[in-house]
Chain A
Amino acid sequence: MASMRDIKRRIKSVSSTQQITKAMNLVASSKLNRAKARFNDTKPFFSATQRVIGNVVKGSKGVSSIFMRESEGKKTLVVVVTGDRGLCGGYNSNVCKTGMEIISKKADACVIAVGNKAREFFRHKNVKIAEAYRDVSEKPSYSEAYTIGQKIIDMYEKGEADEVYFVYTEFITTLTNEPKAIKLLPLDPEDFKGDDSEPHSSTLTIYEPDEEAVLDYVIPKYINTVLFGGMVESAVCELSSRMTAMDSATENASEMIEHLNLVYNRVRQGAITQEITEIVSGSNALE
């Protein structure tokens, strides 16, 4: 049995760990509230952009854009969004696994890693990394999404990639979030036809300067918006899973301390009993 001093030391170390996890939990939950507010602010822009593209695509039959050409799926680019730091449950590894699933099906694939954890994961798996970004995960800004979007479009236009997937984490509730993969490029017109509820007089719509110019302008914007939306959503997920992970860590630490206290008391009791027995037997021997 461990000595009293060892157990005491153990309790001390667990409770200082608990203090850290508790603090991280609090920090994550206050950051989460802010991230959630940002997430709600980005939604209207995203849905409005999607609607405009939908209208343009629907209203303009036979408009060709390089962003809509058929792809052979030979050179795949996967954009994976993770956090920079760990200690947030399965958040990072879940996204990376989803990304890996796509990559393993493709012959030639490379990765744009957003967040330190994605870079480490794919470097370990020997996947080619086209570009890695860090220090963006917790508070993504639109200009960062713009830089990444620009890089994607650049690679797509140069033919270094002929299809692009985007893997991020979808926020469902604070306790559940799920990794999600969407196809970013080439754009599938079918994707936009579904959200058509009202009949549109789109044939009458004027496009300035013309339909193709509008599409070529709006689609990169759309990609940036999707990236930005996904990054903001992932940030919310990272913080919420860190919060839940730290919450359960704090709880586990409490349980552990409780158990250790029990053992400590038992050992202490044992020591006292032993001492009494020794004294009694000692005095008995003197008589």
Chain B
Amino acid sequence: MANKLSLKIITPTRNMFEGEVDMVVMRTKSGDVGILHGHQPMVTILDYGVLTIKNDGEDRQAAVLGGFAEISSEGMSVLTDAAEWSNEIDVVRAEQAKERAEARLKTVQANIDVQRAELSLKRALVRLSLGGRK
């Protein structure tokens, strides 16, 4: 395969991934999008979701929690606040976070708490969806 997409995944604290891949599938605000080599330049906002890297018939998955992706002629960079490979996810912690968030949503208080609880529930669900099927 000559035509590969060069991909970088960067979080504030580390360079998570840098290399050539066949295809990237990610969850944007408007749905799942797959990116191949030679894509038109694009900037898109990412939702909380699973990012799949397809390379030589192998899949590698990561939980990506927000951020944005930039695709230019040189390649693609994913900039995110937090991201974890599927094997790095702490399932127990995510499970606890999920329960906590659900409990908080049941006892509705101020508006801002609901938003925060919903966000942390979303984060926990993304992590669990990956961590569970390792």
Interface residues of chain A, those whose CB is within 8 Å of chain B, are 38, 41-42, 44-45, 48-49, 51-52, 55-56, 142, 145-146, 200-202, 204-209, 213-214, 217-218, 221, 225, 228
- Measured between alpha carbons, how far is A117 from B72 in the docked complex, in Å? 44
A and B contact pairs by CB, cutoff 8 A, 18 listed: A41-B13, A41-B14, A42-B12, A42-B13, A48-B77, A55-B70, A142-B13, A145-B12, A201-B41, A202-B41, A205-B43, A208-B28, A208-B29, A208-B30, A208-B44, A209-B29, A209-B30, A214-B43
CB neighbours (8 Å) of B40 from chain A are: 204-206
Other-chain residue from B42, B43, B77, B81 in contact with A142 (beta carbon distance below 8 A): B81
Report the tally of A-B residue pairs with Cβ distances under 8 A: 79
Q: B68 touching A218 by the CB < 8 A rule?
A: yes
Q: B43 touching A45 by the CB < 8 A rule?
A: no
Closest residue on chain A to residue B77 by CB atoms: A48
CB under 8 Å from chain A, chain B span 1-27:
8, 10-15
- Measured between alpha carbons, how far is A214 from B68 in the docked complex, in Å? 9
Other-chain residue from B67, B73, B77 in contact with A201 (beta carbon distance below 8 A): B73
Q: A217 touching B13 by the CB < 8 A rule?
A: no
Given contacts A44-B15, A45-B10, A205-B41, 16 further A-B pairs with CB under 8 A are A42-B13, A48-B70, A52-B77, A52-B79, A142-B12, A146-B81, A204-B41, A205-B72, A206-B41, A206-B43, A208-B44, A209-B30, A217-B68, A221-B68, A221-B79, A225-B12
Q: Say how far B123's CB is from chain A's closest CB, in angstroms.
A: 13
Does B36 lie at the interface of the complex (its beta carbon under 8 Å from any beta carbon of A)?
Answer: no
Q: State the main secondary structure of chain A at its contact with B.
A: helix
Does B45 lie at the interface of the complex (its beta carbon under 8 Å from any beta carbon of A)?
Answer: yes
Which of B12, B14, B67: most chain A CB closer than 10 A? B12
* Interface flags, B69-92, vs A, CB<8A=1, else 0: 010110001010110000000000
- Measured between alpha carbons, how far is A146 from B67 in the docked complex, in Å? 13
- Measured between alpha carbons, how far is A45 from B79 in the docked complex, in Å? 7
CB neighbours (8 Å) of B45 from chain A are: 208-209, 213-214, 217
CB neighbours (8 Å) of A38 from chain B are: 13
Q: Say how far B62's CB is from chain A's closest CB, in angstroms.
A: 16
Closest residue on chain A to residue B14 by CB atoms: A41
Q: A55 touching B29 by the CB < 8 A rule?
A: no
CB neighbours (8 Å) of B12 from chain A are: 42, 45, 142, 145, 225, 228
CB neighbours (8 Å) of B29 from chain A are: 208-209
- Measured between alpha carbons, how far is A208 from B69 in the docked complex, in Å? 10
